[in-house]
Amino acid sequence: MINMMYYVFVTVLEVKNLNLGFNCECGFRQALFDVSFSLEKGRIHALVGESGCGKTISAMSILGLLPKTAKITGGEIIYNGENLLNKKNINKIRGSKIALIPQDPMTSLNPLYTIGNQLLEVINIHQGLKGEKAYKKAVEALEAVQIPCASERMNSYPHEFSGGMKQRAIIAMALACNAEILIADEPTTALDVTIQAQIMNLLNQIKPDTSILLITHDLALVGENADEVSVMYAGRIVENAPAKEFFENPSHPYSQALLRSLPSDRANKPETIQGQPPSIRQDISGCRFHPRCDRCMEICTDKIPVLENIGANHYRACFLCD
Ligand code: SF4
């Protein structure tokens, strides 16, 4: 008898056909084009691509933390059955239900307040706890992220914490609020390799309760930690697949080029991808990757490829037939 196991993942966040642009001195310029992805409970979904491809602005749209010049022109962000784009009081969700680990832990904490003060403020605002209960919760959160002597460290100022400890303190804030979703925007970029490993171990430990949207350009980190991968290029998702499938069968020429740019062994030198991602001021017809694609065909300069299913939960936007 064949013993088959099926896993059903519960979607906790769904971004559907998100379109966003910026008012620039040269007029309104589109930056995100029909961006769609979903985050499942207990999973790490990695959003990857070079800098300037739209990863961070997609994440900031979820939190409603957009610059004044940005304008969302279409789409939905569904959380708990509600479209966050229509929600008047997103502050109630931001920080408590959906938390952010920003790129730079060094500048994310207020240098004038102790770590304890900053944790207690978050717990007070998002959990409504005060006094001893709030203090206990703050110490527990610091312990959960393995800050040694947590109760004593409550009195430390950010400059007394190392980079890794600062990042852990920020994760502790998300844990203290029982955040259901954590948006980790390049959470380890500013840290050295051993601290990177500690932070990623910690994220893996909390993921059964807290689903994680991991924004990164570090494919090695993605390979070791993510469950699902979406590749962004110039404001579009060009490939989406479960992580194992993505690394075994990358299908979009841009994904393949990104993977070829990783150091593998001494015999195979990493390859560079010629050129740069386009700025939002550049008009590019057809496939936005075509000026850099070594497999570009006539159709690619004229028509826009859409995401299509090419295998089990594997999607790609490209005109290639293979
Ligand atoms: Fe390259 Fe054409 Fe595919 Fe774009 S659609 S990635 S240009 S082959």
What is the number of the ligand 1 atom nearest to the C-alpha of 253? Answer: 6
CA distances from 247 to 138, 197, 213, 218, 265 (A): 39, 20, 18, 13, 16
Per-residue pLDDT tens over the stretch 28-67 = 999 999 999 999 999 999 999 999 899 999 999 999 999 9
| 293 Cβ below 6 A of ligand 1 | yes
> Does residue 111 register a pLDDT over 60?
yes
Distance CA(213)–CA(166), nearest Å, equals: 20
Quote the tokens at residue 157. 């100022």
Supply the DSSP string of 3-41, one letter for each residue.
------PPEEEEEEEEEEEEEETTEEEEEEEEEEEEEET
Q: Which residues neighbour 39 within 8 Å (Cβ) at sequence distance 6 or greater? A: 11, 12, 13, 14, 45, 181, 211, 212, 213
Tell me if 199 sits within 8 A of 186, measured CB to CB. Answer: no
CA of 197 to the centre of ligand 1 (A): 35
Q: Which amino acid is at 294?
A: D
Quote the tokens at residue 214. 């991991």
How far is CA 91 from its chain centroid? 20
DSSP bridge partners of 183 = 100, 213
Question: Which residue puts its alpha carbon closest to atom 7 of ligand 1?
Answer: 290
Distance CA(44)–CA(226), nearest Å, equals: 5
Distance CA(263)–CA(247), nearest Å, equals: 14
Quote the tokens at residue 70. 């940005």
Quote the tokens at residue 71. 């304008």
Per-residue pLDDT tens over the stretch 234-252 = 999 999 999 999 999 999 9
Sheet holding 82-83, edge to edge: 27-40, 11-24, 70-79, 82-83
> Does residue 187 register a pLDDT over 90?
no
CA of 308 to the centre of ligand 1 (A): 13
Quote the tokens at residue 59. 């994440």
Predicted local distance difference test score (pLDDT) of residue 4: 52
Question: Which residue puts its alpha carbon closest to atom 5 of ligand 1?
Answer: 318
How far is CA 28 from its chain centroid? 26
CA of 253 to the centre of ligand 1 (A): 7
| 287 Cβ below 6 A of ligand 1 | yes
Tell me if 258 sits within 8 A of 231, measured CB to CB. Answer: yes
Predicted local distance difference test score (pLDDT) of residue 192: 76
| 231 Cβ below 6 A of ligand 1 | no
Q: Which amino acid is at 152?
A: E
> Does residue 223 register a pLDDT over 70?
yes
> Does residue 1 register a pLDDT over 60?
no
Predicted local distance difference test score (pLDDT) of residue 119: 94
Confidence band for 258, pLDDT divided at 50, 70 and 90: very high
Q: Which of 255, 287, 299 to mutate to test the pocket of ligand 1 (most atoms within 8 A of CB)?
A: 287
| 319 Cβ below 6 A of ligand 1 | yes
What is the number of the ligand 1 atom nearest to the C-alpha of 290? Answer: 7
Per-residue pLDDT tens over the stretch 42-52 = 999 999 999 98
CA of 274 to the centre of ligand 1 (A): 15
Question: Domain residues of the chain, as ranges?
Answer: 9-90+230-261+280-322
Give SS3 for 70. strand
Q: Which CATH superfamily is domain 9-90+230-261+280-322 in?
A: P-loop containing nucleotide triphosphate hydrolases (3.40.50.300)
Quote the tokens at residue 181. 């979703």
Confidence band for 95, pLDDT divided at 50, 70 and 90: confident
Predicted local distance difference test score (pLDDT) of residue 96: 83
pTM: 0.90
Burial class of residue 157 (count of CB atoms within 10 Å of its CB; 0-12, 13-18, 19+): middle
Question: Which residue puts its alpha carbon closest to atom 3 of ligand 1?
Answer: 318
Per-residue pLDDT tens over the stretch 267-288 = 677 888 888 899 888 889 999 9
| 233 Cβ below 6 A of ligand 1 | no
> Does residue 3 register a pLDDT over 60?
no
| 296 Cβ below 6 A of ligand 1 | yes
More confident residue, 91 or 183: 183
CA distances from 172 to 34, 39, 220 (A): 34, 21, 25
Predicted local distance difference test score (pLDDT) of residue 206: 87
How far is CA 232 from its chain centroid? 11
CA of 289 to the centre of ligand 1 (A): 6
CA of 244 to the centre of ligand 1 (A): 23
Q: Which residues neighbour 15 within 8 Å (Cβ) at sequence distance 6 or greater? A: 35, 36, 37, 38, 58, 61, 62, 75, 76, 77, 78
